[in-house]
Each structure stands twice: as C-alpha cells, then as structure tokens.
Structure 1
C-alpha cells in the first residue's frame, strides 16, 4: 500500500489507490467504520473517489481515530481557540509521516539541501503539538544549512537575512503564516528573485 501511495503517476492510479485506502480504513479504523455504517455506506457500493465519505473533524476531538494497533509515536494537536477542545492526529508510524511530506517537497520543490529554510511561525512555536512546527523543523534540519532557522518576532532580522541571501543567489524557502507574512511585507518592500514563499494559512 505505501509503495503504491508514493508512486502515483496519473489520475487513474490515484483513484485506484484512494479506493484501496478507503477500503483499508473501513476495515481497520473502528471510528470510521461506525461513521460509514451510520451513513449506510459500504465499500462494495463505492466505485468513485467522490463517493468516499470524509470523517468530520469533530470526531478527531472526541475519539481516538486510528487504523493501527501499533503504539502511538506522536500526537499532533490543532491550535484551537481558548476554552475549546482540540483535534488530535495520532501517528503510529512517524517515519511514514516524514516520508510523506519529504517526498512531497522533493516532488514540487526539488532537493531540500539546495535551500536555506526560513520559518516565520509565531504562535505555532509557542505551543506544543504543532505538526507544522514538527515538519518545518525537520525540513530545516534536512537542509543542512547553518543559516536555516525559525523566526519568532524578530522580523527585522529576517528581512535583512532574506535580502542578503537573495543577493548571493541562494535558493531560499520562506515558510510563514499569513498574518506574519503580512507584517513582514508591511515592514519593507522586497524584490526577491531566489526566494519561494510558502504560505501555510493561519
């Protein structure tokens, strides 16, 4: 299954794998199976990706959503709002999780070691359980670049770093939440030719 997921070449293969994943989740994920049963949906009646039911986010706040009996290696939580419950993403294979985003990055952006990775993620850095911080920290480490790193509130320093790297022709990846990126461009105008900006939402 994992090999097929990471080697999809066209829309037809995607549909085949998506349906196979749906069948796997129906069989091994008790919460998802119960949800499908309530909707009177069975894999034998699902032949298109569009027919696969999606589990509402509320279930990730109130149930353990798992399709494996293996030990939970990592628990990621949503940011949530004050006083509200958070959704939890329980990961039983952290290496598979890493493989997913690292291969996705390589497919769309190329070799991570060619980049300086700069991360502007205030709020996310200040709490535990952020999958975004986990992934970005791993990308920073994998870049093997001493100039890669996180920025919290020091956007003046980040602005200077971006300009300096661009002048050197260094490929740079700036990962940031929308409100922080807006603060950055309000600080000064940029004309960066070697920088890719990845907006993460938030």
Structure 2
C-alpha cells in the first residue's frame, strides 16, 4: 500500500472515532479489524520514521503483511529509546511518560499524542461501560492526582476526563504528589455520603488504596457507604512492606468502606497504549480470582512465545501483545513484558517476564536500536 493510496490521517481517525463511539458493546468482526489494522499500519509505516526503520530491518512492509497478526510489534522499552510518533514530537498535543526509574528521566518511556480525540474517546467508552453501566453519575472521590499536577501522567489525564464528564456534584481530589493522601478530607467526604445516602465512586491506584485502608485499620475506622457505591483500582498490589492480593484488597475495601467485591473493578492500562482493559462491570458479581481483563472491540490481545514471540493458542502462558487501533499516531502493535494467558473471553496477567522469559523482547529491542542507529 503506497502513501498515495492511504486514507488521509483525518479520514482514518474519523472512521476509528465512529467505531469507538459505538461503545465497547459493539462488535467489530475480524475482517473489519483486519482492514482497519492494515490501514493503521500503512499510515504508521509511512509517517513514523523510527518504526518504519524497525519494520524494514525485519523485512516487513504494508505490501508484505498478510493480516493484522503480521504487523511488527515494538517492545514497550522502545518508547524509551525513540520518539515513536507519526510527525514531529514537538507538535504533540500531549506527552505521557512512564514512571521514573533509577536510570533517570531520560529512561522513561514516552508516548507522544499529536491528537487526543481517539485517546479520550477510548477512555470514556471503557469507563462508562465498566464503572457506570447502570447509568449512575456518582460523586467521584479521586486518589489519583489532578491532571494539572501530573501533566505527563496518562492515569491523571484519564481521571481528569472521567471526573469532568461523569462526576456528580461534589466530586473532588484527595491526593497530591507533594502532600500525599488527604485522610481528613476523605473521611469528611465519606461521612457526608453516608449521611445523605448518596453513592460515591472511588478512583485510586492499588498502592494508594492499600495505604489509605491501612490507615483506616490502624485508626479503627469503618464506613458504610450507600448501596451503589463503587471503586476502580489500577496498578499493582503492593503495600508498605508486603504484597497484597486482589482478594485481600477487596476484602479490606468491603470491611472498611462497605463496598462489596461486585462493585470493585480493576483497570489495567499502559502509558504506551490509548485503550484500557477492565476485569468486570460494577455491580456484576464475579469472584476476583475468576475474573479476566477484557479489551474493547478495537483491541486484540495475544500471548506470544517468550523466545520467538510467535502467537500461542489460548490457554498457553506467554508474553502478552496488544494491537490497539486507537494508537493511530504512534505504534498500534505493543509487545509487553507481562506474562499472561488468553482465552476467547479475555486474558489474565500472571506477572512480569524475567530472564529467559524476556529473551524475545530483548531481541526485538536490539533490532529497534540497530534500526535507528543506536
């Protein structure tokens, strides 16, 4: 497919917006996903120079791919090594970065977004379907910092968007990068909700929630939030000095806040992607241990062989790879470092690939560095 036969970026974006606007419950047949994925790949091959060099090193171009599964995936570490964007990074409407590392800020993965329309449409569609399927518009209490306090955080951007679009009167922020959790403000907000009988929606990283729940336990404090209150947690389950399982976290949420397991939903997202995954719908009772993360119809997920990165059948443990059509202006195909198992209904994350398990990702990263001359 030559550049001259590509749909314009605007036309391709509008077509994707139409699909995302139909919501996460709409179906996208495999043939339609394949057609759009190949168009997105051709767009990225033509306009994303580092990615094109990587594909050429692997002998792949829009003329040679037989289907979306043949599109080369870049490892997430590639976003630390190159500006993987269609166009000039300086023109980006938003720049999201992964958490800092001991190697310094220059080693943070960076996702440049020339246009936020697809990103925002995807996050709203997912949140609405999984946290607000009952049509509620609850007061949102956020344990995720405000977007203006963490402008390069995709999670803060997401929280800002859902508070602005879906938060009821009195929605507020109760954590800051400098001051930490506002325990007093949160306690007041929960007491007001209990007195008024108004359900709330709590957003937070699992890390922040564990610290908050620990503080409630140490103070002997309990709340009984009104029926219909719900919680979205995201990130890993680490406490001050211990690992916390999802069952333990949700057990503490029920004990200290009165929110049942069925109203707790885990969100799994990545800085390098524009779409999110959720492991349930608020109000639908599925035991945490039985849950799978589910992507929207414009995303496909595979488990891949750790050595060869070839796709594996459902039920086999491999390194997860995601194809996200909403990543129009960066790279659609993302090779993660997460081990997991897929099924026709979704996938389960089992942990991070280590040592030999990460060999395929390391080789792919070597290819990218050679392709861009580093």
Question: In which range does the TM-score fall when normalised by the shorter chain?
Answer: 0.7 to 0.9
Match of 2:183 in 1: 155
Instruction: Measure, in 2, the Cα distance between the counterparts of 1:195 and 1:14.
Output: 36
| Aligned match for 1:135, one of 139, 143, 158 | 158
Checking the alignment, whether the CA contact within 8 Å between 1:113 and 1:142 is kept in structure 2 is no
Alpha-carbon deviation of 1:190?
5.6
Cα separation, partners in 2 of 1:46 and 1:82, compared to 1, 3 Å: same
Instruction: Measure, in 2, the Cα distance between the counterparts of 1:159 and 1:51.
Output: 52
| Aligned match for 2:124, one of 88, 96, 102 | 102
Match of 1:114 in 2: 137
Match of 1:29 in 2: 48
Larger mean CA deviation between 7-16 and 60-69 belongs to 7-16
- Are 1:182 and 2:210 counterparts? yes
Cα separation, partners in 2 of 1:47 and 1:165, compared to 1, 3 Å: farther
Cα separation, partners in 2 of 1:170 and 1:37, compared to 1, 3 Å: farther
Checking the alignment, whether the CA contact within 8 Å between 2:142 and 2:172 is kept in structure 1 is yes
More strand by share: 2
Match of 1:10 in 2: 28
TM-score (norm: length of structure 1): 0.80
Alpha-carbon deviation of 1:178?
1.0
Instruction: Measure, in 1, the Cα distance between the counterparts of 2:108 and 2:186.
Output: 31
Checking the alignment, whether the CA contact within 8 Å between 1:113 and 1:144 is kept in structure 2 is no
Larger mean CA deviation between 130-139 and 154-163 belongs to 154-163
Match of 2:109 in 1: 87
- What do the CA deviations read for 1:46-82 (whole angstroms, capped 9, x no partner)? 3343332222223322322111359222222211223
For structure 1, the residue ranges without an aligned partner over 5 or more in a row are none
What is the RMSD of the two structures over their aligned residues, measured on CA atoms? 3.1
Cα separation, partners in 2 of 1:140 and 1:46, compared to 1, 3 Å: same
TM-score (norm: length of structure 2): 0.47
Instruction: Measure, in 2, the Cα distance between the counterparts of 1:14 and 1:171.
Output: 38
Checking the alignment, whether the CA contact within 8 Å between 1:113 and 1:145 is kept in structure 2 is no
For structure 2, the residue ranges without an aligned partner over 5 or more in a row are 1-11, 176-180, 237-374
More helix by share: 1
Checking the alignment, whether the CA contact within 8 Å between 1:19 and 1:47 is kept in structure 2 is no
Match of 1:201 in 2: 235
Alpha-carbon deviation of 1:167?
6.0
Instruction: Measure, in 1, the Cα distance between the counterparts of 2:68 and 2:84.
Output: 21
Instruction: Measure, in 2, the Cα distance between the counterparts of 1:166 and 1:44.
Output: 61
Alpha-carbon deviation of 1:133?
1.1
Alpha-carbon deviation of 1:151?
1.2
Question: Which fold has the larger relative contact order, with Cα–Cα distance below 8 Å and residues 6 or more apart in sequence?
Answer: 2
Q: How many equivalent pairs are there?
A: 202
